[in-house]
Amino acid sequence: MELIEGAAGSGEGAGLRSLYVEPEEDPAEIQWGALEFHDVFRIFRSGPAETVALRGLDLRIEPNEMVGIVGPSGSGKSTLLSLAAALDVPSAGEVRALGRSLARLDEAELAEYRACSVAIVFQDDNLWPALSARENVTTALRLADADRADRRAGEALDAFGLGDRGGLRPRSLSGGEQQRVAIAAAAARRAPLVLCDEPTGQLDERNEGLVLESLRELRDQFGATVVVVTHAERVATACDRVVEIHDGRVAA
């Protein structure tokens, strides 16, 4: 992995350029992964201090795969998810999601990507507290400009065993139920890429199992590609594949 100092750039990425080169084939002919990182660097600068969160990360996740991302605290896992969600931009390198280079999307395309293509499930606080479970799912659908939002929200809650919880606000739901509502919202809008950051981090064993079931259902019934950052061994081993991140890159 090599960085060229002094190459053209702007913002935090100034002075860095990845050596990744786009393939020359016709993009329509290429079997793109659901998520691809090519030689990705993310460097945070604060005055003279510099933290290299990702240093030449290469990763490919296939469509409809469920992949666990593990690694020590500070190894770059959350940074990876932020870049995949287009909530952050790499200092160098290429992030490609669903066949599109995120760096080449304009503002409108990025907004559409965030609202429709990708869903994020954090450790907690995924729901609007003033809205019921059903309204949470409906609102996520409306933001994605989906039609028949009410009906689809009801169907998704039913699919995840939450049909009788729809009228309750998050504070009246258990932690596990709240996580499953967030997963149901991702399913309802058919988000093809679902990114989870420690989705069972606050849950007991039983609820961890239920959330894990829901993530599998997202993959199997809704065709999603699921990326799960986790410290939970049970969650990692239930994935199709586990990728270990160390010091900002995939461990050998």
Q: Is 94 helix (H, G, I), strand (E, B) or coil?
A: strand
Candidates 1, 19, 74, 172; binder of ligand ADP (CB under 6 A) is 74
Q: How far is the CB of 192 from ligand ADP (least distance, A)?
A: 23
Q: How far is the CB of 174 from ligand ADP (least distance, A)?
A: 26
Tokens of 6: 């002094």
Judged by CB under 6 A, the number of residues near ligand ADP is 11
Per CB under 6 A, which region of 7-15, 71-79, 146-154, 166-174 contacts ligand ADP? 71-79
Q: Does 246 bind ligand ADP (CB under 6 A)?
A: no
Candidates 19, 22, 27, 51; binder of ligand ADP (CB under 6 A) is 51
Per CB under 6 A, which region of 66-74, 101-109, 173-181, 199-207 contacts ligand ADP? 66-74
Radius of gyration in angstroms for the set of CA atoms belonging to the chain, rounded to a whole number: 19
- Complex with ligand ADP: residue 162 or 229, whichever CB lies closer: 229
Restricting to residues 76-95, which ones interact with ligand ADP according to CB under 6 A? 76-79
Going from the C-alpha of 143 to that of each of 80, 87, 100, 136, 158, the distances in angstroms are: 25, 17, 22, 11, 21
CA 198 to chain centre: 11
CA 140 to chain centre: 16
φ, ψ of residue 152 to 5 degrees: the values are -65, -35
Q: Does 221 bind ligand ADP (CB under 6 A)?
A: no
Contact by Cβ (8 Å): 215, 199 = yes
Q: Does 44 bind ligand ADP (CB under 6 A)?
A: yes
Pairwise CA distance, residues 79 & 42, whole Å? 8
Q: Does 75 bind ligand ADP (CB under 6 A)?
A: yes
Q: How far is the CB of 245 from ligand ADP (least distance, A)?
A: 7
Burial classification of residue 104, based on how many CB atoms lie within 10 Å of its CB (0-12 exposed, 13-18 middle, 19 or more buried): exposed
Which of 208, 233, 150, 219 shows the shortest CA–CA distance to 186?
A: 219
Restricting to residues 128-187, which ones interact with ligand ADP according to CB under 6 A? none
Q: Does 31 bind ligand ADP (CB under 6 A)?
A: no
Q: Which residues bind ligand ADP (CB under 6 A)?
A: 44, 51, 53, 71, 73-79
